[in-house]
Amino acid sequence: MKAAKFKYIRPSSLDEAINLLSDFGEEARILAGGQSLLPTLNMRLSQPKVLIDINRLDELQGISHEGKHIRIGALTRHVDIAESDLITENIPLISEAIEYVAHVAVRNRGTFGGSVALADPAAEMPACTLALQGTLVVEGPNGRRQIRADDFFHDLYETARAPEEILVEVQLPIRRSGESFAFMELSRRKGDYAMAGLACKATFQDNRFLSVRLVYFGTELKPTLGENVMSQLEGREWSETLAEKVIASLEDDLDPVDNLQGSAAMKLHLQKVLTKRTLAEVVQRLGNV
Amino acid sequence: MKSKGAITPLDRQHSYVGRNLSRDKAKRAVNGRGRYTDDITLPRTVHAAFVRSPYAHAMITDIDVDIAKAEEGVVLVMTGAELKELCTGPWVGTLSVFPTMKTAPQYPMAVDRACWQGEPVVMVVANSRAAAEDAAELVSITYKELPVVAHKETALEKNSNLVHPDLKDNLAYEKVIDTGDVGEAFAGADHVVEATFDFGRHTAVSLEPRAILASFEKDTEELTIYTSSQTPHMFQAIIARTLGLPEHKCRVVAPFVGGSFGLKIHSFGDEFAATAASLKLGRPVKFIADRLESFLTDIHARENTVTGKMAVSSQGKIEALEIDILSGVGAYSQYPRTSVFEANQILNITGGPYKHQNYKARMRVAYMNKVPTSQYRAVGHPIGNSVGEALVDLAAEKIGMDPVEIRRRNIMEDNSYPRTTASGIEVADMSHQKCLETLVERMKYDDLVQERNSLRAEGIFRGIGIAAFIKGTAPGPAGYYGAGGAPIASQDAATVKIEPSGNIICAVGVTDQGQGVDTVMQQITAGAVGVLPEMVRVIEGDTDATPYGGGTYASRATAIGGEATYQAALALRAELLRLAGALLQREPETLDIIDGNVVDLGTENIRMPLAEIGRIGHFQVAELPNDIQPQLSHTKRFRLNDALYIFTNGIHGAYVEVDCDTGFITLLKQWVVEDCGRVINPILADEQVRGGSVQGIGGALYEHCIYDDQAQLLNGSLIDYLVPMASEMPDIDVAHVQTHTGVSELGSKGVGESGTGASPAVVMNAVNDAISPFEAKVTVQPMTPDVLLKALNRI
Ligand SMILES: Cc1cc2nc3c(=O)[nH]c(=O)nc-3n(C[C@H](O)[C@H](O)[C@H](O)COP(=O)(O)OP(=O)(O)OC[C@H]3O[C@@H](n4cnc5c(N)ncnc54)[C@H](O)[C@@H]3O)c2cc1C
């Protein structure tokens, strides 16, 4: 199918882009890598009147080390994340997870910012951003503001970003000693969106969980914290029995939806399996930190 | 008929048959220079888009096209009723070989009732596809929804909704065969095993979608069609009949074709509508199905439920087999090949490798408000083999016998042909025993069993699968199409001619879709005439340039078209030797042709290049005696006689691992040993088997057209409809046993479907072996994690 007619504008500064967004309001859509947006246009699932191409905005580029966090410009392509030493060394969860994002051709164009802004419930980067307690920086007509990842993901494709705001960058905290990460997902084929997935960050003291963050994706309407499981793990020493015990309470954290990949029951089951495996992995990795 | 073992020109040292020649076209395709239908641009081309029924069943009560017509760039808007007026009559998708079969007549676009979601209702033709789609959105159609038949399980019940009230019920066709005494065999059996198998609907997903560019010249009343087709002559016949055109003024060209798998041997309404638009406008009209349209409107296949039962003795002798097939097809029987063929093949081939004499099978085919189903690679075989081979494994399990051993005891012996299967089909020149032993050797079966057992103790669940098969290839004239009445040639033809340069042109009725049919014909021609392969150019896919033929389907290209080519090439060779004899004043019998030169037989001393004969034969005929009239061009045809098919056989092995907590299956390795008779090009034959196996794996694990209760397709994109991808595919080891068929001199049988036909069976058997420690069984395809976890009682 061919997209319906639209007006195409390519601003050359962030200010110009924001002005365009406020001028056109709901009629406009930001075009980043286009890997999610263009298929929906071609299928005529959405028919925006205006596309604002942000690909030439320098303000949105680059990966840099800034104090206690790594700044990832919204336009950073998936491929550049995968190849960044800065990320491998400082936010290993991201470099582990990025391998699961789509296929080479899609990774060459798709952007980190596009992925987080879109907030697909089965996407890896939003889940990792939440697991890492990152900060999202958006800019709109009223200026710049920072949004904690915990406050960003509202519902299916709904985020705290206002329509006239652009996601400029994401700040992710640099790993600290005592932290361990693990990432697992199940997809039918390499590169597919997750059927079920889990991003985990844990800190330990004297072999006990000091804190754990478990972010589930692929089964809920948005990346979701496993708060019940997390609270039961805190302060405890790892054992398989503990894992068995806590995963029962995953039912209080998750409310999967049936979809083409399978039933809600299957999804809950898979997340339980992943929880056990991920916790075992994160503990084992701690020994190697 | 040839006497077996005789040396033919193809077996000679200088023959190019049996060698790995690379495909010329492959390089072109890889460089992005292939020319597909959509790459062809003619002056004044306009583009068609379709408004399709959003409902699976609805009356069309009103159509308003005024706004659409007025849109900029729009040149034509046509409704189904208007198109009907341009047709000579409806299509009726029945064949006389299925005597009691019934179907509703259909037109290329819905006339006043839409019977499946995606059925074309209005065509819009405009200066660009985008403009046509814009205008299509402005067509306003009022529908009145009708009750939908969405499930085959209830379609045949007395009070079911009806797809076509005129037909009185939804039963398309029912057939029973009953050989021997099944009742007694089951009553007296040591053991009986039984299971019900369910197969999801899937579709071909060719990389290049359906495509047509139709160009009608009003002044000469000549129609030229470029289309992504496997069967140009069939297309010519049907387009001429449907639109009332003289056949000889319709030229059909199939340029590069990007995959087809049976999809492109049918007639699709939108393609006929686009052609009708060209007739009306006198302009070229292009229609390229997009991916969503492909999922909605390409033929589907495989939706069947089969209950099967096998009787076995304690010594492992299969005593009887009984199956009951419920086949769920679409709203119409697909014209011109029908939609009952699939179930009929299941009935023909289930249990086909084995010697049992008692067989009962019933097939019932039910219409539903879904897109029509029809022939897709290895028609029916993936289902029949899955059922038959799963039952054999169940029987083996019941009596505690190894799956290889039970097959060894029951397969037909290699020295027992010709013979008839329990289903009544005649088979010959088969090699089940040789294939089985070769497979066991290549798999290192005993080591594999040991490895599986020791890993099981560690909680790693691996499984080994075995699946033997027979495959009907190269259908004959007594069968479905010739005798059945469809305008499809079951014989095929080749013209082989020498040019003044001494080079050879070979024009064939069979066609290439990327599998290398042209390379195979090039090798046969080179081998038979005695020239270098680069001296041969093959022409296919053009009704103006090739002799009349059936095209490529049902693994027939090499078996039928190859023999025609061989005979035409031999005829040319004989003439060339006669001409050389006259020119050299020698007996033709003392001469030979090697690598493009006439040589002395035996010593191979070069006497004259073929270029010399080409020059004299075309330009300097005076140098030849007056009583010699050079022909230089030879056309031969080849037909089968009474045979329904040339049946082939083979066997698959698989090794898989199942993660019993997640239900995920990892394919570790697959082996195929098959017998396609003479192999012309080993690498092409291997890749047919590999690609075909992968396609079978697709059906076994991933592919599924998912419909809801209103018969709405829920997964019309490649994000949601999963095709097999390279990362998940196993290494596939391929070997060929070459038992030449006695029906031709070439000796080749079909190879294109031997992978697909049994791959789902072997994967399912391997999975069931892997999960056997849990006493679980999977009988549903695709075997998704959901299916596995349910079978394992984990959810
Ligand atoms: C075949 C295929 C497989 C895929 N598999 C995966 C996968 O496994 N995992 C995964 O995570 N993704 C997957 N994707 C999606 C891919 O990662 C996308 O690139 C990504 O989700 C969106 O990024 P983009 O730059 O392409 O955004 P676009 O498509 O350009 O935009 C997506 C949406 O985000 C908005 N947007 C983009 N940038 C900004 C910004 N800076 N500020 C505000 N709004 C913005 C756009 O307006 C639009 O609504 C897949 C895509 C394809 C085609």
Helices (H), B548-640: 562-584, 610-618
Q: Name every chain A residue with its beta carbon within 8 A of the beta carbon of B661.
A: 273
Best residue among A22, A24, A36, A128 to mutate for probing ligand 1's pocket (most ligand atoms within 8 Å of CB) is: A36
Task: Give the C-alpha distances (Å, rounded to integers) separating B541 from A102, B225, B538, B550.
Answer: 38, 11, 10, 11
Measured between CA atoms, how close is A47 to chain B, in angstroms? Answer: 11
Taking CA atoms, what residue in B is nearest to A277? B661
Tell me the pairing of strands B250-253 and B58-64.
Answer: unpaired
User: What's the pLDDT at B480?
Assistant: 72
Architecture of the CATH domain B24-34+491-638: 2-Layer Sandwich (3.30)
pLDDT tens digits, A108-151:
999 999 999 999 999 999 999 999 999 999 999 999 999 999 99
User: What's the pLDDT at B4?
Assistant: 45
The candidate with the shortest Cα–Cα distance to B360, out of B286, B301, B308, is B308
Give yes or no for a contact between B124 and B67, defined as CB atoms under 8 angstroms apart.
Answer: no
CB contact under 8 A, A189 and B706: no
pTM exceeding the 0.90 threshold for the entire prediction: yes
Q: Which of A43, A192, A273 sits opposite B661 (nearest CB)?
A: A273
Instruction: Classify domain A179-286 at the CATH topology level.
Output: Enolase-like; domain 1 (3.30.390)
- For chain B, residues with pLDDT lower than 50 are 1-5
* Sign of the dihedral through C-alpha A31, A34, A40, A41: positive
User: What's the pLDDT at B7?
Assistant: 59
Closest atom of ligand 1 to CA, residue A113: 41
CATH placement of domain B302-477+642-791:
3.30.365.10
User: Is the per-residue pLDDT at A286 higher than 90?
Assistant: no
The C-alpha atoms of residue B82 and residue B759 are separated, in whole angstroms, by 46
Instruction: Classify domain A58-173 at the CATH topology level.
Output: 3.30.465
User: What's the pLDDT at A205?
Assistant: 86
How many beta carbons lie within 10 A of that of residue A258, not counting itself?
Answer: 11
Structure token pair of residue B162: 């009806």
User: What's the pLDDT at B3?
Assistant: 42
CB under 8 Å to B597, separation ≥6 — which residues?
B606, B607, B608, B609, B610
Task: Give the C-alpha distances (Å, rounded to integers) separating B277 from B84, B124, B236, B324, B566.
Answer: 12, 9, 17, 45, 41
Asked if the peptide bond before residue B782 counts as cis, ω within 30 degrees of 0, the response is: yes
The C-alpha atoms of residue B397 and residue B446 are separated, in whole angstroms, by 17
Question: What is the separation of C-alpha B51 from the centre of its chain, rounded to a whole number of angstroms?
Answer: 30
The torsion region of residue B120 among left (phi > 0), alpha (psi -120 to 50) and beta comes to: beta
Nearest protein Cα to ligand 1, atom 3: A102
C-beta of A170 in contact with ligand 1 (< 6 A): no
The C-alpha atoms of residue B55 and residue B49 are separated, in whole angstroms, by 18
Quickly tell me which residue has 């005529």 as its tokens: A44
pLDDT tens digits, B421-451:
999 999 999 999 999 999 999 999 999 999 9
Q: Does B420 touch chain A if contact means CB atoms closer than 8 Å?
A: no
> Are B24-34+491-638 and B40-146+207-297 in the same CATH fold?
no
What single-letter DSSP state applies at residue A12? S
Give yes or no for a contact between B42 and B213, defined as CB atoms under 8 angstroms apart.
Answer: yes
Which of 3.30.499.10, 3.90.1170.50, 1.10.3720.10, 3.40.50.970 would CATH assign to domain B40-146+207-297? 3.90.1170.50
pLDDT tens digits, A16-69:
999 999 999 889 999 999 999 999 999 999 999 999 999 999 999 999 999 999
User: What's the pLDDT at B77?
Assistant: 98
User: What's the pLDDT at B483?
Assistant: 76
Cβ-defined contacts of B456-460 (< 8 Å, 24+): B456/B773, B460/B657
C-beta of A80 in contact with ligand 1 (< 6 A): no
Quickly tell me which residue has 């083409």 as its tokens: A260
Give yes or no for a contact between B268 and B294, defined as CB atoms under 8 angstroms apart.
Answer: no
The C-alpha atoms of residue B538 and residue B527 are separated, in whole angstroms, by 14
Closest atom of ligand 1 to CA, residue A165: 43
Cβ burial A72-81 (10 Å sphere, 16+ → b, else e): bbbbbbbbbb
Structure token pair of residue A197: 């997935």
- DSSP β-bridge partners for residue B597: B594, B609
pLDDT tens digits, B294-341:
999 999 999 999 999 999 999 999 999 999 999 999 999 999 999 999
The C-alpha atoms of residue A16 and residue A20 are separated, in whole angstroms, by 6
Asked if the peptide bond before residue B625 counts as cis, ω within 30 degrees of 0, the response is: no
Quickly tell me which residue has 């290895």 as its tokens: B378
Closest atom of ligand 1 to CA, residue A168: 41
Give yes or no for a contact between A187 and A102, defined as CB atoms under 8 angstroms apart.
Answer: no
Radius of gyration of chain A (CA): 19
- DSSP β-bridge partners for residue B326: B305, B364
Q: What average pLDDT does the structure give for chain B?
A: 96
Q: Name every chain A residue with its beta carbon within 8 A of the beta carbon of B137.
A: 4, 44
* Sign of the dihedral through C-alpha B137, B139, B140, B141: negative
Tell me the pairing of strands B74-79 and B120-126.
Answer: antiparallel
The C-alpha atoms of residue A159 and residue A119 are separated, in whole angstroms, by 7
How many beta carbons lie within 10 A of that of residue A19, not counting itself?
Answer: 14
The C-alpha atoms of residue B359 and residue B387 are separated, in whole angstroms, by 14
The amino acid present at B587, given as its one-letter code, is: E
pLDDT tens digits, B225-241:
999 999 999 999 999 99
Task: Give the C-alpha distances (Å, rounded to integers) separating B383 from A34, A219, B187, B250.
Answer: 41, 33, 27, 38
Listed by number, the residues of chain B in 115-134 with a beta carbon closer than 8 Å to a beta carbon of chain A are 128-130, 133-134
Run of H or E residues at A128: helix A124-131
**Is A7-53 a domain of CATH 3.30.43.10?**
yes
The candidate with the shortest Cα–Cα distance to B155, out of B145, B166, B169, B137, is B169
Run of H or E residues at B638: strand B633-638
In chain A, what are the domain boundaries? 7-53, 58-173, 179-286
Give yes or no for a contact between A28 and A50, defined as CB atoms under 8 angstroms apart.
Answer: yes
In chain B, what are the domain boundaries? 24-34+491-638, 40-146+207-297, 302-477+642-791
Question: What is the separation of C-alpha B337 from the centre of its chain, rounded to a whole number of angstroms?
Answer: 12
Structure token pair of residue A266: 């299957």
Q: Does B455 touch chain A if contact means CB atoms closer than 8 Å?
A: no
The amino acid present at B408, given as its one-letter code, is: R
The C-alpha atoms of residue B209 and residue B703 are separated, in whole angstroms, by 17
Give yes or no for a contact between A220 and A120, defined as CB atoms under 8 angstroms apart.
Answer: no
Closest atom of ligand 1 to CA, residue A161: 43
The torsion region of residue B51 among left (phi > 0), alpha (psi -120 to 50) and beta comes to: beta
- DSSP β-bridge partners for residue A214: A200
The C-alpha atoms of residue B572 and residue B36 are separated, in whole angstroms, by 33
CB contact under 8 A, A261 and B786: yes
Q: What average pLDDT does the structure give for chain A?
A: 96
